Amino acid sequence: MEFDVIVVHYGEVTLKRSKRGLFEKILARNLEKSSGMKVKRLQGRLIIELTPKADLTSLLDKIGKVFGVVWYAPAIKVKTVEDLQERIVKILRGLKVNKIGIETRRSDKSFPMTSLEISKIVGAHLSAALGVKIDLKKPEKKVFIEVTEDGIYASFERLRGPGGLPIGSSGKVLCLFSGGIRSWLACWYIMKRGCSVDLLHIYNASSPERFLEAAAHPINKLLEYSMKFRLYLIPFNIVLKILEEVPENMREIVFKVYLHKIGEKIAERRRYPGLVSGYTIGLDQVRFNELYLLLSLRKLPIYTPLIALDESEIINRARSLRLPETPGEEYLDPAEYLRKNFGTAEVDRDRVKDYLKKLKLDDAVERSMSDLQVLELKFGEKLKPKT
């Protein structure tokens, strides 16, 4: 098939009436960044005009990862119903189908035919030219016709996008990123609500490059959706020495308090209004108590997009997005390392608070910040240290 454009439709954006124009502009801008093509705004849809050298398969894959897009499709563009009929006949003749469905929408109310009239005229022409039957209930192929102020568009499939709101329409947050599926999905879901996301990772390795190597796939998968983000890296060794003063079964919870403090320090300096975490509530009460304790000690909001999901939902979503369950077989992020070597945290709120006072974690945070490294990551580009 030869197509002229890609038609992009959005859904939730239209519900935000007072900010609809702004959201449409942000979505159009994000599509241009992702596709590298110019985007035209029409009533209720966006149009990407194809060039002769355009790689359609690659373009469709990129558009399918832009938040705010509900469905999209390659389409033909014509000026008249007569031209529409001839183009559709030419395309369908090569597909060898017997039952055709036609769905017409008319956003340009000045057009002299109604949606129903257009469907009937096109259907009659297809029946006469191809001998096909018009079947609206169980068609083998469906034709989607859109009559706009800019012309008539026809597509033959609806590819599903991620939906949500366009990134950049809801501010920026800092994600506590382990590299595992929970923190990755937390980023994904918060981006789906229109937030730009930067990442913080405490690396449990001799160098940040070791973590970047182990987590290359999940990081690149995240960049497919965000296009770019800032990655803050801090070594684990400073707080690891302090944790030796803590009972083994409390080390994981103390580390998480430290992680929150690091996140809040960066957020204070770089003006992030909140943190994002992949926390989930398990079946046992200990995990609930742990989360309660962590949230009670925080200064900034901590958003937990996965809080209502069970284990199977998390795994199924990760698989649908083709995300590996771990960043690397040989790499353990600090929380996993502590859990594996010293067991799951037993939470006694008063005891934890007593140790936090003795340890002077704020001093450890300040020392850790002196080793902070910042990388600017862009999809398709090599890592570049921020200058």
Q: How far apart are the first and last CA of the chain?
A: 48
State the Cα–Cα distance between residues 168 and 228, nearest whole angstrom.
12
Q: Any idea what the Cα angle at residue 311 is, between residues 308 and 315, rounded to 5°?
A: 110
CA distances from 159 to 9, 156, 334, 360 (A): 10, 10, 40, 54
Beta-sheet pairing, 45-49 with 172-176: unpaired
Closest by CA position to 35, among listed 21, 46, 24: 46
State the Cα–Cα distance between residues 26 and 191, nearest whole angstrom.
14
**What is the number of other CB atoms lying within 10 angstroms of the CB of residue 39?**
21
> Model pTM?
0.91
pLDDT in tens, 70-99: 999 999 999 999 999 999 999 999 888 999
Per DSSP, 77 falls in state: E
Mean pLDDT by 10 residues, the chain (387 residues): 92 69 93 96 94 94 97 97 96 90 95 96 95 93 96 96 94 94 95 97 88 88 95 93 89 93 96 94 63 88 92 91 69 87 76 85 91 92 55
Closest by CA position to 31, among listed 53, 15, 7, 52: 7
Closest by CA position to 126, among listed 154, 108, 102: 102
pLDDT reported for residue 387: 39
pLDDT reported for residue 385: 46
Q: Is the dihedral of CA 157, 163, 165, 167 positive or negative?
A: negative
pLDDT reported for residue 160: 96
Amino acid at 287: R
For each of the domains in the chain, give its residue range(s) and CATH number, in order of start.
Answer: 5-160 (3.30.2130.30), 172-385 (3.40.50.620)
